[in-house]
Amino acid sequence: MAFDVDLFVIGGGSGGVRAARMAAATGAKVALAEESRMGGTCVIRGCVPKKLMVFASSFREMPGEARAYGWDIPDGSFDWGAFRGKLHAELDRLEGVYRRLLEGSGVVVHSQRARLVAAHEVELADGQRISARHILIATGGRPERPDLPNAHLGLVSDDIFLLERLPTSILIVGGGFIACEMACILNGLGVQVTQFYRGAQILRGFDDEARGLVAEAMRAQGIDLHLGTNIVAMAEAEAMAGAARGGEAGHAAALLPKGGAKGAPVWVKATNGYLGVEIGRRGEIKVDAYSQTGVPSVFAIGDVTDRVNLTPVAIREGMAFTRTVFEGQPTPVDHDLIPMAVFTQPELGTVGLTEEAARERGPIEVYATSFKPMRSSFAGEPARVLMKLIVCAETRRVLGCHIVAPEAGEMIQLAAIAVKMGATKEDFDRTVAVHPTMAEELVTMRAPVRRA
């Protein structure tokens, strides 16, 4: 059977774009549809604008710190309008880069919605149908509002980048990646931040000691963090408010949590199960180790599969898909030992097992130190950092590394190489320290602080 294209990609985010370009490089005829802006969540409403806001928010403490080092610098004020204009100009530039990369690779781009209508066919919003030997779904995730009265009154994380002006105060509900990062960003930009989280500690799933230090630092910076607290309803008044369990008042705006990787809907024109594309309870597309669905011609990558919802992982999944399908090299996706960073202030960088998870697998040794770094200590600031290694007591392999510190994301990227390679504690010990640095503690800790 002759097909219009060899590959049709639904979704123009980081994973879909990478897969399309790599497939086109093999000589395949490729088309891609994106109904919104090219670049997806990461470029337009996620990683990139968020990190630029992290940078902007970090300058709030700079004048005071500079004065402690002898500089005569007055406190300044933040101009959201000026920053916002430059931010959106940068996002426009990056979107243009993505489009040019696709065009330069020979990928035909359809700037409209596409839906799956058959095992080898998609339909565009304008009614055009295109047949494809292979179809890749890379539609990403979307914010999901919680099921509570008047939830529509609150903001979701995507809305923050579009605000025409910053609120004077905000209530953030949630304790995951995005909630904590946004709390630190907005606090740094001068917004009065209150944060509610229903659990016992923020950043569930991360190392307990590390997330405890992050929570302590957030409070020290002025974030009014309440644990074991949730909202039960939203109400429209002179200013929006969240009704909290315990009777605590909300603030001028409420940022509701961004739901886990609730998949953007894939419209399958058939009754339930006709095509064999299985959808999980959270809306995710079920795939095997090669990102293949129950339909041999249909694959899915990225957040829509709800495996590991990170941009670099989606890109790796797209690369593995291309190698498997177009290069004749069956390549399963590797989700083991993925490093990640939470861009709070200070940042949390992590790779491998937490202390809690490692204990369940066998005997371990924990090497950890928490201290005031030289820069903070000299300035008289209370900030502390954490360097922590989890080591298998039997093999001596480093099972996990956890860092809470400024620029922890930069540090964990390098530490992750050693952990991924299977480095032992003795390999770390044999490495000469770079002095004076915070990270030198990773190679100078000699005695475990505890065993389990």
**177: containing domain:** 151-255
| In the predicted structure, residue 28 carries a pLDDT above the cut 90 | yes
Active site residue ranges: 435
Handedness of CA 379, 380, 383, 385 (dihedral sign): positive
Q: Last residue of a domain, which of 295, 326, 357?
A: 326
Domains in the chain, number? 3
* 209 beta partners: none
Q: State residue 148's pLDDT score.
A: 83
pLDDT band (50, 70, 90) for residue 258: low
Whether residue 73 is found in the same domain as residue 107? yes
Whether residue 347 is found in the same domain as residue 301? no
* 11 beta partners: none
Whether residue 103 is found in the same domain as residue 163? no
Whether residue 63 is found in the same domain as residue 106? yes
Q: Last residue of a domain, which of 223, 255, 287?
A: 255
pTM greater than the 0.95 cutoff: no
How many other CB atoms sit within 10 Å of the CB of residue 183? 28
Q: Is residue 332 part of a domain?
A: no
pLDDT tens by residue, 95-119: 999 999 999 999 999 999 999 999 9
Q: Is residue 310 part of a domain?
A: yes
Q: Which of 11-25, 248-262, 347-361 has the lowest mean pLDDT?
A: 248-262
Q: State residue 237's pLDDT score.
A: 55
Q: Is residue 306 part of a domain?
A: yes
Whether residue 366 is found in the same domain as residue 238? no
Q: State residue 60's pLDDT score.
A: 95
Question: Which residues fall within 8 angstroms of residue 168, CB to CB, at 6 or more apart?
Answer: 191, 192, 252
Token digits of residue 177: 């990646």
Whether residue 10 is found in the same domain as residue 127? yes
Q: Is residue 335 part of a domain?
A: no
Instruction: Quote the mean pLDDT of the chain.
Output: 91
**pLDDT exceeding 90 applies to what percent of the chain?**
83
Closest CA to 120 of 130, 110, 128: 130
Whether residue 275 is found in the same domain as residue 126? yes
Given the structure tokens 């839906």, which residue do they identify?
115
Could you give the CA distance from residue 240 to residue 243 in angstroms, rounded to a whole number?
10
| In the predicted structure, residue 364 carries a pLDDT above the cut 90 | yes
CATH code where residue 12 lies = 3.50.50.60
| In the predicted structure, residue 270 carries a pLDDT above the cut 90 | no
Token digits of residue 151: 């939830």
Burial of 237 (0-12, 13-18, 19+ CB in 10 A): exposed
Q: Work out the average pLDDT over 131-145.
A: 92
Q: State residue 399's pLDDT score.
A: 98
3-state SS assignment for residue 88: helix
Report helix angle 177-188 to 47-57, nearest 10.
40
| In the predicted structure, residue 261 carries a pLDDT above the cut 70 | no
243, 233 contact by CB (below 8 A): yes
Q: How far from the centroid of its chain's Cα atoms is residue 58's Cα? A: 19
